[in-house]
Amino acid sequence: MKILSAQQIHNWDAYTIANEPISSVDLMERAAQGCTDYIFRQQLFDKPFKIFCGKGNNGGDGLAVARQLLLQHYNVSVYIIEFGAVGTEDFQTNLNRLHELAVNIHFIQSQEFFPAIDEHDVVIDALYGSGLNRPLKDMSAALIEHINQAKAYVISIDVPSGMFIDKSSVANVMIHAAVTLTFQCMKLCFMVAENAVNTGDLQILDIGLHPVFIETVESNYQIIIKQFIQSIYKPRKPFSHKGTYGHALIIAGNKGKMGAALMATQACLRAGAGLTTVNVPEKYLSTVHTRLPEAMCSIREDGTNFKGINAVGIGPGLGTEEDAKRLVTTTLEQFKGSTVIDADALNIISENKELLKQLNASSVITPHPKEFERIFGKAANDFERMERALQQSIQCNCIIVLKGRYTLVAHNGKGWFNTTGNAGLAKGGSGDILTGIITALLAQQYQPLQAALLGVYIHGLAADISLERQSEESMLARDVVENLGAAFNDLHS
């Protein structure tokens, strides 16, 4: 599913109007009805509604919602901000329709006209939509601050007013919405942490935009959906054997961090590698044999042997001492197969940037935002970090898995957002498991991009399934591993 720019979304509306065909005001009515239907389901009939509208099409949506609510006998007052501009044609049409009903319509000409807002009111924010291209100021900014200070229940239409949809809004004055009702598709602004507090609960409303249009446009960003994952998933063959599914090597663990090695290895086993070997210091061999009898071991002090190895995962719990640095350097220089690089291996690279030259098209690096910035430089905001990930995926000729709520997989200048997973993954060990999963998929001869996409999806899905018995607070990384089987089974449905 492609993520579109503001201009592309505008073009999608125009394409629908021309090819359905449908008038623009009737398309606006359809969008408004989607918002009104959502409000009906929330059972807010006993609440006073204050609907704030600009004079653009977002304001037109708000006026149409006001009329639809009034026809259902809701208590509605409408406030239109005056800023000198003439309203759009569809705004004016809906304003004329609204005037036919007995309704409180107020025009805000200065801050003295700001209404009192009670914390028990429901505020509908229809001031500025996805077409906004500059920060709000003067009376518009003051009105938004006035709404925010009231602490009322705020529902934003399309996007919280003041928020850009495809660039950072971090310095903007923005509505703090409890709910955002956006239309048809996910927007880039909703994929980043910096906007979460303003977005609230996001609801995507299908308003029936013409499906053909989305096939005609290109986008640098997409969302990973189940149907796409099912298309790349390879079910196991009945007449296969352990050699069919490759040999994975996990290089992980050290004093005080053997748990990371065990979790990465267990995840590799559960994600389907035919053979899994874990490279650990000799004194921890008994720990591995006791906890994971299915895994083989190689001794750290004996060095690394890559003969017969299809994929390597390196970094979890490895430490950053000199012996670890030598091990990372040796692995990147000598093993040219598929490699997953995580955790301490990334920290070592951040202090030895020349190692980036050893990455190749079969390399998958899995940094969280701070690890990413240590390697590639500090970003001013989430959007800059995402763009840098896309750029570095080209420059370093590798796949970057930038971990987060919506983990971004960057490859060759394109990005895919994962939408499975939950806040239960915000706990130590989750990244180690992801390393093991992707390493296992690479060992099974998935292409590196396929392994990264399938890996982050399955990882998040197993976390979602874990919530059937756990809470986000109580979930452990081990719970995610234990639910990998259910996650893979889900791909068969």
- What are the mean pLDDT values of the chain's consecutive 10-residue runs (493 residues total)? 94 97 98 98 95 97 98 96 87 96 91 95 97 94 97 97 96 97 97 97 97 95 97 96 97 96 98 98 95 96 93 97 96 96 98 96 97 97 98 98 98 98 97 98 98 98 98 98 98 93
Give residue 103's pLDDT: 83
Give the whole-angstrom CA distance, residue 257 versus residue 260.
6
Indicate the Cα dihedral angle 473, 474, 477, 478, nearest 10°: -170
- Asked if residue 420 lies in contact with residue 457, where contact means CB atoms within 8 angstroms, the answer is yes
Fold of 226-490: UDP-N-acetylmuramoyl-L-alanine:D-glutamate ligase (3.40.1190)
Cross-strand pairs, 156:
125, 180
Quick one: tokens of 93? Answer: 């049409």
Cross-strand pairs, 339:
312, 363
Give residue 200's pLDDT: 98
Sign of CA dihedral 274, 278, 279, 282: negative
Give residue 85's pLDDT: 75
Architecture of domain 6-219: 3-Layer(aba) Sandwich (3.40)
Q: What is the 3-state secondary structure (H, E, C) of the chain?
A: CECCCHHHHHHHHHHHHHHCCCCHHHHHHHHHHHHHHHHHHCCCCCCEEEEEECCCHHHHHHHHHHHHHHHCCCEEEEEEECCCCCCCHHHHHHHHHHHCCCCEEEEECCHHHCCCCCCCCEEEEECCCCCCCCCCCHHHHHHHHHHHHHCCEEEEECCCCCCCCCCCCCCCCCCCCCEEEEECCCCHHHHCHHHHHHHCEEEEECCCCCCCHHHHCCCCEEECCHHHHHHHCCCCCCCCCHHHHCEEEEECCCCCCHHHHHHHHHHHHHCCCCEEEEEECHHHHHHHHHHCCCCEEEEHHHCCCCCCCCEEEECCCCCCCHHHHHHHHHHHHHCCCEEEECHHHHHHHHHCHHHHHHCCCCEEECCCHHHHHHHHCCCCCHHHHHHHHHHHHHHCCCEEEECCCCCEEEECCEEEECCCCCHHHCCCCHHHHHHHHHHHHHHCCCCHHHHHHHHHHHHHHHHHHHCCCCCCCCCCHHHHHHCHHHHHHHCCC
Give residue 481's pLDDT: 98
- Asked if residue 17 lies in contact with residue 90, where contact means CB atoms within 8 angstroms, the answer is no
Give residue 73's pLDDT: 94
Give residue 406's pLDDT: 98
Give residue 83's pLDDT: 75
Name the residue ranges covered by the structural domains of the chain. Answer: 6-219, 226-490
